[in-house]
Amino acid sequence: MMAETRLRPGAVPLAAWREIYAGGLVELDAECRQKVEAAAATIETIVAKGEPIYGVNTGFGKLASARIGKDDLAALQRNIVLSHASGVGEPLPQPIVRLIMALKVTSLAQGASGVRWVTIEHLLECLRRGLMPVIPSQGSVGASGDLAPLAHLAAALMGVGAFLVEGERLPAQEALRRAGLPPLVLAPKEGLALLNGTQVSTALAVVGLFEAEKLLRAALVTGALSTDAAKGSDGPFDARIQALRGHRGQAEVAAALRALMAGSAIRSSHLVGDDRVQDPYCLRCQPQVMGACLDVLRQAATTLAIEANGVSDNPLVFAESGEVISGGNFHAEGVAFAADMIAMALCEIGSLAERRIAMLVDPALSRLPAFLTPKPGLNSGFMIPQVVAAALVSENKQRAYPASVDSIPTSANQEDHVSMATHGARRLLAMAENVANVLAIELLCAAQGCDFHAPLRSSPALERIRDLVRGRVPRLDDDRYFAPDIEAAAEIVKSEAFLAAAGPEVLPSLGDELGRPAATARGRKGS
């Protein structure tokens, strides 16, 4: 049974979002109820006075100057949801929808959006009961909030659209009926509050961050194994070199590589008498490249941890002074920058791994049999897997173009600068899948390369990794149908067992629960 995650609005750690994404149960800290009800009462008071408030008794966007009469306020909120539910494309995966719903709950529960407590409870009940709104993945420009996708979420709560319930797509009205929940009837400001916000782009970026962290750690393992397969030197990982540069990520990556290779008989065999003075950059510069990736992912983690705990609605309610103030917290520029940083890191993790693959299959560089096959010519060995890796890396380069530098005016130029955060974040999972397949190919190449050094063995940590591989994929002696081998290796790379075998305590991570850099992990103090 999954552990329960208690949401304390404004102070939810990244680790909790990870648990929710993985299917953890959600409970909301009830202490926030007083603030929520005070904000809702503020909206009621202002509406009763007839004072103009954007999106409460006015139109939306370019139509903000249009005043709406009291008798039409409920219809106004329903209309904004229905008109904005205009998304297209494949539905977002259910785990991401769970995360979006939890992010929306914690934003609304901070008492600055003017929604009623009953509205938050309705959203929370759907989340608890596994009613996942069907949300099309395309249609947000990442400013004025993730309007189209969040409108599909709100519409489902109202009984319009569809839910996925245990994998079954149901009309929203039917899903709510089966769950014993009435369709939500929106009060003033509530439609706008549900639609405004960066929860979709933030959820997509946070998930991309989680995947990038896992792949960076995996790439250190495959990189260490490739270094041994090529009889590369661990000299470039010396702590003194990293100290003179001063970057924390670089030092931690070097320490992890030293720990992974510690005790390798392959490495010991060529400490004396090897005529190679320096290894190629793909081996020698791992601390510099992967350390930079680690540093930039930590910066993205800091931004996203703050964003996930913030309020990105508009206008915002300040119950203590009775004010409702319009602003621009819905603009997801910070999320867009974070997504671009994650994309760049993913691109570089895959790019460096592909260069190690190319080095291993090239006998002039690796001093191993051509394409890692015992009978080159008769067999092609790892020739085409390297081509596949090159294709995936080039695809990621194209995907990594910064989304944040693009903008296009919307809403008749009222919304004249937008962040493009949503599709900037949406690409990350596809990029991560490409990187996982590149690392799978590297894992197979590195394991095969080490096979040629028998009876010499690698380090205890790397031998555990090789055992995992050989438990699923036998050594390649003669050409065979290759795709299943890569698929099996990708499953290994993405598994918890992979990092467990390597020793997670020696691998750097993003940091503590709010994205700040973690203290040096046990086992990373090297000389």
Stretch among 127-136, 316-325, 398-407, 508-517 having the lowest mean pLDDT: 508-517
Q: Determine the pLDDT at residue 347.
A: 98
pLDDT digits 0-9 by tens, 466-513: 999 999 999 999 999 999 999 999 999 999 999 999 999 999 999 754
The stretch 186-214 carries a mean pLDDT of 96
Instruction: Grade residue 416 by pLDDT with cuts at 50, 70 and 90.
Output: confident
Residue in the block written with tokens 């670089």: 250
Residue 373 CA to residue 192 CA, distance in Å, equals: 62
The stretch 84-103 carries a mean pLDDT of 97
Q: Determine the pLDDT at residue 417.
A: 87
Q: What is the CATH number of domain 205-404+420-506?
A: 1.20.200.10
Residue 192 CA to residue 479 CA, distance in Å, equals: 60
Q: Determine the pLDDT at residue 2.
A: 59
Higher pLDDT residue, 58 or 392?
A: 392
Helices (H), 231-285: 239-245, 248-261, 265-268, 281-284
CB-based contact 229:449 (threshold 8 Å): yes
Instruction: Grade residue 4 by pLDDT with cuts at 50, 70 and 90.
Output: confident
Q: How many helices (H) and strands (E) does the chain have?
A: 21, 9
Q: Determine the pLDDT at residue 68.
A: 86
- What value, to the nearest 5°, has the Cα angle with vertex 40 and ends 37 and 43? 155
Q: Determine the pLDDT at residue 55.
A: 82
Residue in the block written with tokens 């940083």: 341
Q: Determine the pLDDT at residue 513.
A: 43
pLDDT digits 0-9 by tens, 202-231: 999 999 999 999 999 999 999 999 999 999
Q: Determine the pLDDT at residue 165.
A: 96
Q: Determine the pLDDT at residue 51.
A: 86
Give 257-270 as a 3 state SS string.
Answer: HHHHHCCCHHHHCC
CB-based contact 236:285 (threshold 8 Å): yes
Rounded to a whole number of angstroms, the distance between the first and last alpha carbons of the chain is: 43
Helices 172-179 and 147-157: angle between axes, nearest 10 degrees: 50
Tell me 235's DSSP state: G
Query: Residue 515: is its pLDDT beyond 60?
Result: no
Q: What percent of the chain has pLDDT over 70?
A: 96
Count Cβ neighbours within 10 Å for each residue of 283-304 and write b for 16 or more, e otherwise.
bbbbbbbbbbbbbbbbbbbbbb
Domain boundaries in the chain? Answer: 4-197, 205-404+420-506
Name residues whose C-beta falls within 8 Å of residue 273's C-beta, 6 or more positions apart in sequence: none
Q: Determine the pLDDT at residue 526.
A: 39
Helices (H), 137-231: 147-157, 172-179, 190-195, 199-229
Catalytic residues: 54
For the chain, what is the mean pLDDT?
A: 93
The stretch 22-30 carries a mean pLDDT of 90
Residue in the block written with tokens 């510069």: 285
Query: Residue 349: is its pLDDT beyond 90?
Result: yes
pTM of the model as a whole: 0.94
Q: Determine the pLDDT at residue 158.
A: 98
Query: Residue 527: is its pLDDT beyond 80?
Result: no
Instruction: Grade residue 61 by pLDDT with cuts at 50, 70 and 90.
Output: confident
Q: Residue type at 358?
A: A
Q: Residue type at 50?
A: G
Higher pLDDT residue, 8 or 426?
A: 426
Look at the chain and count its residues: 527
The stretch 255-272 carries a mean pLDDT of 90
- Measured from the Cβ of residue 6, the count of other Cβ atoms closer than 10 Å reads 12
The stretch 118-127 carries a mean pLDDT of 97
Domain 4-197, what architecture?
Orthogonal Bundle (1.10)
Q: Determine the pLDDT at residue 516.
A: 43
